[in-house]
Structure 1
Amino acid sequence: MPNNDKPVNGQENPSFLDVLNQLPPAPPAPELDGKPGTRRLARLRAAWKESWQEGGFLYQRWEEVFQARHASWHEVANWIKAAALFGGLSLIVLMLDAAGDIASATLKGLSAVPASGAGDGSGLWGTVDHPVRVFLADQAAHLSVAPAALYAFWQLTGLVGLVGGFFGNAGARIAWLLFGLGSLAMIWSTAPAGGRAAATGLAALIWALASMFALRGLTLRPVVHNHPPQYQFNPALHLHATIPAGDDLGPDNVHPLQR
């Protein structure tokens, strides 16, 4: 099969021009004389059938696709690699574009949340929730955002950190820790002076109980991996004794063994 491309990594790069090179000559049928469109259609049909025969362009491409299921990445044809990379990049771009639209719609929805009351701070949850609402309302007065949007974003952060941390996501657990520390700081700065310590301590206990789910499976013990040595070292001591020549060991140096 003719191919104008140079082989890369021992593989030939297919070219669509090979299909055109396989076009057979126009069939010399008398009924096709004077009809160029019909003659071209007949040539295309003949080329299509020939390309699917053994050794044809489309036949070889189909064999490469069939073999790619059982081959490694380095053994796959180059055109299949290019198609897979292009499809993967296109999918990533679509996902990023969709994620951007979702994030933009979420932020716009949070900004359009109607203002909600700060509550009276009664009850166990109100003791923790009311100082946070008051703190965010005071800070929103100096920002171009509604207090309800800040409160909704605070709730969303806590929910994402709790659910994501339960499934072991490291980023969600970091967000959960920052969410708890920020909540304790807001409660301490806004709660009444007489009950500041009690409100902060109560919030810390609630946060600790919720952390049992958000930080599930987290341990502070160091993880020790015992791997067998890759090589063995056997020390050995080699002593080389040098025996002097026979002239140095005369009869005088030989003493009989006596009892």
Structure 2
Amino acid sequence: MLVVKSRNKKRPRVLDRDKTDLDEADGLPYGGCYVDAIVQLWGQTYEGIPRLNNALEAVRFRRDGEAFGAAPVDPDEFDDLDDEDDDRGSRRRGRDRDDEDDDRGSRRRGRDRDDEDDDRGSRRSRSRDDDDDDRGSRRGRGRDRDDEDDDRGSRRSRDRDDDDRGSRRSRDRDDEDRDDDRGSRRGRDRDDDDGDRRSRRSRDSEDDDVDRPSRNSRARDRDDRDDDRRSRRRRDHDDI
């Protein structure tokens, strides 16, 4: 067997068995059917290479064969699609109804629950009010007790303050007495220091008085010696 692949840039002529023209709407020919084909052959040298060309000129349908791939589409299949759409619409309607019924039931249940919650809330509010009243009475009693405790505490604190003040006063007095004793001691020490200093000064002055005559006599002796030396020098000078 020989396989020849042929084509043409222009649309080839397509005919039926009776040589009538066929369109695409006729569905003929199709892949896998038997046809008669007119092919034009010619030789050519292209870029130094010899080759054999062909062009498809005309095709005539001969008989049916096993289709390649999927079979041709049957227009009746659209009816099945329409039936499926109707079934889907009915199902959707049924679902919508069921959803509406569920919504109504849920709303009724929600209303019933809200009513129950309102009843519970009213009961709770009543119980809370009663509890608040009881707590208020208890708080009032507690406040009275706290006021009494505060009065007792204030009294005790006052007594403690008085005691602290008395103790502080006694301590201040003791501190003042101690300061007086220290001041008297300091005065005595100062008097003693002043007496010692005066006695030392008098002694030093007496010693100075004793030392002054001796110093004066020594100075006189020096002066006499210097005079003698001067007189001797004068005599020696006169003799020379």
Q: Shorter-chain TM-score: what band?
A: under 0.3
Higher share in helix: 2
Larger Rg: 2
